[in-house]
Amino acid sequence: MKKISTMVIRRLPRYFRYLTDLKDAGVERISSTELAEKMNVTASQIRQDFNCFGGFGQQGYGYNVQQLHKAIADIMGLSQNYKLVIIGAGNLGHALANYAGFSRRGFHVVGMFDVQPDIVGTTTGGITIGHIDDLEAFCKREKPEIAVLTVPKEVALEVAERLPALGIKGVWNFSYMELRMPKGIYVENVHLSASLMTLSQHITADKKEEIK
Amino acid sequence: MKKISTMVIRRLPRYFRYLTDLKDAGVERISSTELAEKMNVTASQIRQDFNCFGGFGQQGYGYNVQQLHKAIADIMGLSQNYKLVIIGAGNLGHALANYAGFSRRGFHVVGMFDVQPDIVGTTTGGITIGHIDDLEAFCKREKPEIAVLTVPKEVALEVAERLPALGIKGVWNFSYMELRMPKGIYVENVHLSASLMTLSQHITADKKEEIK
């Protein structure tokens, strides 16, 4: 299989979502033209992208939805389960721990840690929140692959430094801090403030257009 | 001013973050080389990007931090305030309503709505959660510019259809649904599941590398 470009990788979750809906609706085959229309992209982009991971399309017959769905799930690593440990049990940590959609996809929150005495020991989403001092022992035992970082900016670097020794393979970083991890540990950033600012930028740009 | 490309726009929040830190630390000038090193990008990209919105650099003297910070804030629409209304008062809605960082940047949550009888009437982050039937009257009175959509996928489209009539200019969409809005309403998607799947994709790809 060819190496799949980052741009295609970024588009996979969206393909996966549409194909899941089609599969759930009992659709067996779909043409690139039909799918393109649904997804509001060009049919040629779809054909090009799907070619990257083996095709599954037959001229005039369209794509086999089930096969394509499985191929994308495999590439996305969704054919296996992952253990997540949430570090930082504030509102966002709670929201993520209670989101059922993740476990449906094979992402299971196995632990949650904080330092606040009034939070440690409480239970959310079936998880009892532990003290961060116990993080090392917990990871040795449970071997989570993914650390979810929902701590305040001020302590993010300090917490992040402890992650490589824990056997973590990926960091889902919600802190405002940029993290540099050793090779082999992938960081996926969710910068909510940056996303919100993109919105204000567009609103302001539109307003300026109006004034002109 | 030239039209700024989407790629540059996407990079603005990161520049803004670094410049805020520099400004807070009392730094008055910085060269593109120094900034490039801090941000782990090339100096030529910084020069090219900053040129898009007027420069503020002097050969051999570097950039004026304060001026550059203000210019970026202006483009990002951060020199004004925005009213946010959160629709969907689940865990994620609560997390967003209680995040102090947003109001520091001029984003103020003014209302929050839901349909659940046990949630409506409760208070979070200083906001009393209203019933979604009162959304229209509320928006007429308060005129929020941004709607934050944190409702389940099943009702996202139904709720979204009500937004254009409310005078909303931007939708911050956390629902798994893709929204098509009329011209003049910008949608910024935060697909948390997609972000998490990017992480699993990388972990799996690394594992396959190891096996080879």
The model's pLDDT over A96-146, given as tens digits with 9 standing for 90+, comes to 998 877 888 899 999 999 999 999 999 998 999 999 999 999 999 999 999
Q: Is residue B203 part of a domain?
A: no
Q: Is A98 on the interface with B (CB under 8 A)?
A: yes
Q: Are B146 and B107 within 8 A, CB to CB? A: yes
Taking residues B179-208, what's their average pLDDT? Answer: 88
A68/A113 same-domain check: no
User: B176 to each of A14, A75, A101, how far by Cα in Å?
Assistant: 10, 21, 10
pLDDT over 70 at B57, yes or no: no
Q: Is residue A154 part of a domain?
A: yes
3-state secondary structure of A44: helix
Q: Is residue A111 part of a domain?
A: yes
Q: Which two tokens stand for residue B70?
A: 């203000």
Task: Please report the residues numbered 101 through 130 in chain A whose beta carbons come closer than 8 angstroms to any beta carbon of chain B.
Answer: 101-102, 105-107
ipTM here: 0.82
Q: Is residue A129 part of a domain?
A: yes
Q: Is B48 on the interface with A (CB under 8 A)?
A: no
Give residue A48's domain range.
6-75
pLDDT over 80 at B212, yes or no: no
Most confidently modeled range among A60-64, A82-86, A197-201, B193-197 = A82-86
Show which of A31, A47, A75 is a domain's final residue: A75
A110/A180 same-domain check: yes
Among chain A residues, CA nearest to B145? A203
Taking residues B53-62, what's their average pLDDT? Answer: 69
Residue B20 host element (H or E)? helix B6-24
Beta-carbon separation of B94 and A95 below 8 A = yes
A115/A159 same-domain check: yes
The model's pLDDT over A145-195, given as tens digits with 9 standing for 90+, comes to 999 999 988 899 999 999 999 999 999 999 988 898 999 999 999 989 888
Q: Is A90 on the interface with B (CB under 8 A)?
A: yes
The model's pLDDT over A11-32, given as tens digits with 9 standing for 90+, comes to 888 899 899 989 989 999 999 8
Q: Is A200 on the interface with B (CB under 8 A)?
A: yes
Q: What CATH number has the domain bearing residue A172? A: 3.40.50.720
Distance CA A134, CA A147 (A): 15
Tell me which residue in B14, B16, B191 faces A13 most closely, judged by beta carbons: B191
B33/B132 same-domain check: no
A70/A91 same-domain check: no
At B56 the pLDDT is: 62
Where would I find the H helices in A89-148?
91-97, 100-104, 135-142
B96/B70 same-domain check: no
pLDDT over 60 at B1, yes or no: no
Q: Is B86 on the interface with A (CB under 8 A)?
A: no
Which residues of chain B have a CB within 8 Å of the CB of A13?
191, 193-194, 197-198
pLDDT over 60 at B17, yes or no: yes
Task: Please report the residues numbered 23 through 42 in chain A whose beta carbons come closer than 8 angstroms to any beta carbon of chain B.
Answer: 40
Q: Are B72 and B15 within 8 A, CB to CB? A: yes
B113/B49 same-domain check: no
A43/A109 same-domain check: no
At A57 the pLDDT is: 62
pLDDT over 90 at B148, yes or no: yes
